[in-house]
Amino acid sequence: MAYSRIAKLQQTVSGGAIIFGIASILSRVLGLVRDRLLSSHFGASSIADSYFTAFKIPDFIFNIIVLGALSASFVPIFIEYWKKKGHDEAMRMAVILLNLIAVILIIVGVVCFIFTPQLMHVLAYGDTAEQQSTTILFTRIMLVSIIFFGMSNVLSGILHAHKKFLIYALAPIFYNVGIICGILFFVPLFGPVGLPFGVVFGSFLHFAIQLPALFRTGFHYRPILFLKHPGVTQVIRLMPSRSFALGLTQLNTMCIFAIASTLGDGARATWQYADNLQQFPINIFGVSLALAVFPFFSEAYAENNMERFKQVFSENFRRILFFVIPISIITLLLRAQIVRVVYGAGVFDWEATYYTAQTLGVFALSMFAQSLIPLLSRSFFARQDTKTPVIISAISVIVNVVCAFVFAKHLGIIGLAFAFSLSSIVAMLLLLATLRVRQGDLDDDRIISSTWKIIGAALLMGLVVHGLKYVAAPLVNMQTFVGVFLQTTIAASGGIMVYIVIAKQFGFVEAQSIWNRFVSFRHILRKGNHK
């Protein structure tokens, strides 16, 4: 019965978003547990800097090869093959692509393993030779993870196309479980080198958890390579522009880390800790909705149903803003409390808390833009247009890197956050404007009206949060975890209640839509229980 209820839920955008959202919340909660363990053990130190820097080369390879091939084109092409040539032929194309990606990743991984020292001289040019050697070792171990991730993401694409969102969404949870195991068990056994071993273990779990659901789709592995398969060549043909865009994004982060390496020990860890916190709401509301809506976008374009596309786009655009704008204001107003609650343990001192909180506050200014970019990008990917997002991504990277060099001289790591936020807003506005020109009316009147209502309600909520923060402070012991947690909870809860009351009182369409989806979800569960 539970499987039947989940199957029904996965057939709608809102149902898929609910599954992604719940799984994303669990994954992000585990991510916060992971980061708290990491910060309490290593703080904002050189070891943490080496650990976070070591991700950059594997992430770069993964993004340009795997995500470049899969994120923009695989799902639409798989669905097109499935509809036109049958399920077996679509699966054959997927198997060939899986084998091709695995071979490429092994070759590229070996090359990068050999030249890791040279790459680190560029990526961490501000580090001492001793710290660079630590980062080199961490990077070489983490390179193994890209092979598991490469294969895992092909499996994810197949499950995504079949609208089997549950296992697809659970994979990141198991990735975090692997990293937590690394911190709790591998580090005591092997020292700091246990951190990258935890990453490799997590990537293996990310891959393995999807296998049972994959085989239920009718997947059969075969060791075949046929590079001239039309579906594979179509994916490869669409790959360069998307790979270039993702490569630019990774290069952007690498430039930030290179600049941050000159700002002293802990700067890169500070950036990453703050970024991980902001990614919590962005992934739950922005990425989850974008992932859930992608196959529906693809189907609308395949059927040339532009009215359906406009409806789905408008609903989810407004839904993202309804959640993210108030969350960004809460994050801005309670940034120090949030950082102290999540990271304030062990060797994570007040200086690390201050700079992480200020960086998080700057990120909050662009949280709405970062949450909308995945939805806007997939609206182009669904029509197999990967060139437009790459051009806009290039412009965004240029804005970020130029501003980062200028701002870092005066504001340090906080300046890098300002540059990143500015470039994110620029990218979002350019994507939206281009889509509007190409697509025509996107339900503009409703989007604009809803946005102003959401902003007004969120600002009133912010006044309540700010007031309750100072009302609660004298009532608790602010020198303890419990005291800071209570202050944060009281202020945030009071603000959220005011926001909900305003949304209900003034009949926000987004609030009613969300309530209707909740009622529908509850009805599905009840119906399943009576069977």
Q: State the DSSP string of 35-69.
A: HHHHHHHH-SSHHHHHHHHHTHHHHHHIIIIIIHH
- Structural domain boundaries in the chain: 46-251
Say yes or no to pLDDT of 514 above 70. Answer: no
Mean pLDDT within 383-393: 81
Alpha carbon distance 85, 410 (integer Å): 59
Say yes or no to pLDDT of 305 above 80. Answer: no
Contacts of 203 (CB under 8 A, 6+ apart): 144, 145, 146, 148, 149, 152, 175, 178
Q: How does pLDDT run across 448-475, given as a tens digit for each residue?
A: 988 999 999 999 999 999 999 999 999 8
User: What six digits make up the tokens of 459?
Assistant: 């600002």
Alpha carbon distance 293, 309 (integer Å): 10
Say yes or no to pLDDT of 286 above 50. Answer: yes
Mean pLDDT within 492-508: 88
Mean pLDDT within 483-510: 89
Would you state the pLDDT for residue 512? 67
Mean pLDDT within 175-181: 94
DSSP H helices, 303-366, are 306-333, 335-343, 350-364
Q: How does pLDDT run across 203-221, given as a tens digit for each residue?
A: 999 999 999 888 888 888 8
Alpha carbon distance 81, 87 (integer Å): 7
- Report percent pLDDT > 90 for the chain: 43
DSSP H helices, 443-480, are 444-472
Alpha carbon distance 26, 9 (integer Å): 18
Mean pLDDT within 259-270: 89
Q: Sorting pLDDT into bands at 50, 70 and 90, what band is 504? A: confident
Would you state the pLDDT for residue 4? 52
Alpha carbon distance 78, 96 (integer Å): 12
Would you state the pLDDT for residue 3? 47
Among positive and negative, which fits the CA dihedral 71, 73, 76, 82?
A: negative
pTM of the model: 0.79
Q: Are 194 and 202 in contact (CB under 8 A)?
A: no
